[in-house]
Amino acid sequence: MRILVLGLDAEGSSCVVEEREVATAPAMPGISVAGLFSTTECPPPAPPPGSGTFDDMQMAPGLVSWMVVDLEPYSDQDEPTMATEMHYNNTIELFCVLEGSMRTILGDGVLELQPGDCVAMPGVDHATRAGPQGARVLSISIGLAPAS
């Protein structure tokens, strides 16, 4: 399992700002944990304005949505959708690939994601395309103030 935290590079392109393997450590007898992502401000800061299309997820600051998302296999012949083209939103998206594979396209390149990969994405530009077998993703979105 690995965690990838997204952010912006010096040029303002979305990118991976942290990548690490996840290793749990004992927290109390019989329980080991590993922190994946946390915020340091309350409320979390608004995301930067993106260069892709704005995806209005109708999430007021502080609202939480927890979903299982099934992505159909992507083909270059498919009609573009909001998800498959570069977009941004006013949420922190936290997701974990459960099954299949997917590609997350960023301003500086492509992430190839497999089962067990976790991503923390604070409203930055991205596009999502499932691999040849599709993908199942567990996703949590937390509403942020509008992009500043």
CATH of the domain at 112: 2.60.120.10
Q: Is residue 148 assigned to a domain? A: no
Please report the DSSP string for 1-24 in residue order. Answer: -EEEEEEE-TTS-EEEEEEEE---
User: Looking at residue 147, what is its pLDDT?
Assistant: 78
User: Minimal CA–CA distance to 67: which of 43, 93, 99?
Assistant: 93
pLDDT of residue 48: 85
- Residue 147 CA: distances (Å) to CA of 44, 82, 110: 12, 18, 23
Count of domains forming the chain: 1
Mean pLDDT for the chain overall: 94
31 belongs to a structural domain: no
pLDDT digits (tens, 9 = 90+) for 27-68: 999 999 999 999 998 888 898 889 999 999 889 999 999 999
Task: Please say if the pLDDT value at position 148 is more than 80.
Answer: no
Q: Is residue 29 part of a domain?
A: no
3-state helix, strand, coil in the chain (%, to 5): 0, 55, 45
